[in-house]
A = this chain, B = another copy of it.
Amino acid sequence: MKHTISVIFEHNFNALSRITGLFSGRGYRIDSISFGPGEEEGLARMTLTTHGDEHIIEQITKHLNRLVDVIKVTDLTYVSYVERELALIKISAPPSRRPEVMQIASIFRANIVDISPRTLTVEVTGKTDKINAMLELLRGFGILEVARTGCVALQREYQAKASQEATGIRLA
């Protein structure tokens, strides 16, 4: 089963190795990682995806929580969340095939961010499924390079607080 885990941690030079080490130590592969600065100075928020046995992932999550650098771990698998990923895709596209690539890009609401006589680079964002679908469609043209961010995710607000909010708030 796929798990999406969000980890807030103190951003020092050792934290990342400690976190990734917990997975590799158990022979678990991290499928994607994304992180950058978090909401507070000195903290970073990482979203990672992995898959495997429920029980072992629960264990890993518990160990993550015990790391000194780690502030908070949330396994988003069991809640409703917004998930997004970004990909840069460089496609082989001589001028004759450009219109077709641009059509596909526009259907996927992707932007063209670089062009050369033989290539186009597009930027696309969305759920992992959408990006996979676009890659699949572009494969016929010849994909030269792909850089994917891996997904980032935030818990949807409404589910968690639905009951307590529903009473007090009226739309303006």
Which of B36, B114, B154, B161 is A145 in contact with, Cβ under 8 Å?
B154
Q: Do A147 and B20 form a contact, CB below 8 Å, given A13-B27, A36-B32, A123-B125?
A: no
CB-CB under 8 A from A84, the residues of chain B are 86, 88, 113, 123
Q: Are B32 and A33 in contact (CB under 8 A)?
A: no
CB-CB under 8 A from A29, the residues of chain B are 11-13
CA A131 to CA B61, docked complex, whole Å: 30
CB-CB under 8 A from A16, the residues of chain B are 20, 23-24, 30, 33
CB-CB under 8 A from A157, the residues of chain B are 90, 114-116, 118-119, 121
How near does chain B come to A170, taking the closest CB pair, in angstroms? 8
CA A145 to CA B75, docked complex, whole Å: 16
Q: Are B153 and A150 in contact (CB under 8 A)?
A: no
Q: Are A161 and B116 in contact (CB under 8 A)?
A: yes
Q: Which A-B residue pairs are the 8 nearest by beta carbons?
A: A36-B148, A149-B149, A116-B157, A95-B172, A117-B169, A147-B152, A13-B29, A86-B86
Chain A to chain B contacts (Cβ below 8 Å), 13 pairs: A13-B30, A17-B24, A36-B151, A37-B146, A39-B144, A39-B145, A84-B86, A86-B86, A114-B157, A117-B169, A118-B161, A119-B157, A147-B153
